[in-house]
Structure 1
Amino acid sequence: MPISSDRLICRPPEPSDVNRLFEIYSDPQTQLFNPAGPMKSLGQAQALLTGWVEHWNEYGFGWWAIAEDASPEQVIGFGGVGLYDFLGDRRLNLGYRFASDAWGKGYATEMGRVALENTFARPGINRVWAVVRPDHAASIKVLEKLGMQRCGLLDDVPGQKQSLLFSIER
């Protein structure tokens, strides 16, 4: 079921999103702060998308395909809240990735607000986390605008600075 905000439509991902997912995730610009770098194959995109669809099927929420309200057929990014492995500890994690031409328009913050509201409306969910690379100033700013607070470090990338952990409670 799609969810709308002021400017965005957020809907569960569909198999037909795989090519757009690959376009966004294979772009070196969108992966600048991802230690794994750009996605290298359509197969990787398919595996990621399959995981998101399975998450939706099992839990009834997860990462969305995101489009502008004015152009609902054109996916501009992916994001939401889903279970994420924090080095062996599965937690609800807020994440997002937008095409570079959608940057600087406040879409990550807008989607984040909707995702947090939707997640906290579910019984028993009281906390959501986010992981961000320490040099990713734009994402840090988004998380802070959402009311998330730094709460620790995660040594998730061997040989590099630790990632920053943020969280927010209901």
Structure 2
Amino acid sequence: MQKTTARLVLRPPVLDDLDSLFAIYGDPATNRFNPSGPLSSIEQAQWLLNGWIAHWKAHGYGQWVICTRESPDDIIGFGGIDARKYLDVERLNLGYRFGTQAWGKGFATELSQAALDYAFTELHVPEVFAVVRPHHQASIRVLEKVGMLRIDTLDDVPGQAASLVYRLRREDAAPGRY
């Protein structure tokens, strides 16, 4: 299911997106706050892409491929909502990763708002979560800008500071928004 925003085209992933996925997820700069680090092989990227495609087939939603409306064939990132385990609890999770050329342009905020809108108006879910590393100030600002509130921490990376857990409930969203 393709979706558009003011500046973005969001579409489900396909197998041909593998090289772009590896370029973004294999870049050390885009993984600065990722404790697992960048993907180190195209096989890892293929495994990730296969999982996203399977999620779409099983649920009808998932991680989108993100392009601009100006250049709909040039992938600038990946993001959206999907079912994700927070240790032993499955939650609807908002996440994204953009190539460095897309940083600082408000695309993460625009994508996040579109994903929340989709979750609340199309999927009719009561809440959406996000997990962010505690020093990732840019992503924290994005989550707060779209109305998400920090509600907890998650000790998901042994030996490191706990991740921050954010949530937006439909009832807490801006009045009339959803």
TM-score (norm 2): 0.94
Task: Write the mapping of 1:57-72 to structure 2, written as runs, cut at 5 A.
Answer: 57-72=57-72
Rounded Cα–Cα distance in structure 2 between residues aligned with 1:118 and 1:127? 12
Deviation, 1:122, is 3.3
**Structure 1 match to 2:101:** 101
Question: CA separation of 1:157/1:8 partners in 2, compared to 1, >3 Å: closer, same or farther?
Answer: same
SS of the residue corresponding to residue 71 of structure 2 reads coil
**Structure 1 match to 2:122:** 122
1:132 partner amino acid: V
1:137 partner amino acid: Q
**Structure 1 match to 2:154:** 154
**Structure 2 match to 1:87:** 87
**Structure 2 match to 1:28:** 28
Q: How big is each residue's C-alpha offset from its partner over 1:120-158, in whole Å with a ceiling of 9 and x where there is no partner?
A: 123551110000000000000000001000000000000
Rounded Cα–Cα distance in structure 1 between residues aligned with 2:83 and 2:46? 18
Rounded Cα–Cα distance in structure 2 between residues aligned with 1:71 and 1:2? 15
Q: Percent identity?
A: 51
Deviation, 1:4, is 0.4
Rounded Cα–Cα distance in structure 1 between residues aligned with 2:136 and 2:71? 28
Deviation, 1:2, is 1.1
Question: CA separation of 1:123/1:15 partners in 2, compared to 1, >3 Å: closer, same or farther?
Answer: closer
SS of the residue corresponding to residue 30 of structure 2 reads coil
1:45 to 2:45 alignment: yes
SS of the residue corresponding to residue 77 of structure 2 reads strand
Runs of 4+ in 1 over 3 A off after TM superposition: none
Rounded Cα–Cα distance in structure 2 between residues aligned with 1:67 and 1:122? 21
Rounded Cα–Cα distance in structure 1 between residues aligned with 2:121 and 2:145? 20
SS of the residue corresponding to residue 29 of structure 1 reads helix
- 5+ long unaligned stretches in structure 2: 171-178
1:110 to 2:123 alignment: no
TM-score (norm 1): 0.98
Rounded Cα–Cα distance in structure 2 between residues aligned with 1:123 and 1:62? 11
Question: CA separation of 1:123/1:91 partners in 2, compared to 1, >3 Å: closer, same or farther?
Answer: same
SS of the residue corresponding to residue 129 of structure 1 reads strand
- 5+ long unaligned stretches in structure 1: none
**Structure 2 match to 1:10:** 10
Deviation, 1:66, is 0.3
2:138 partner amino acid: A
1:42 partner amino acid: I
Question: CA separation of 1:155/1:67 partners in 2, compared to 1, >3 Å: closer, same or farther?
Answer: same
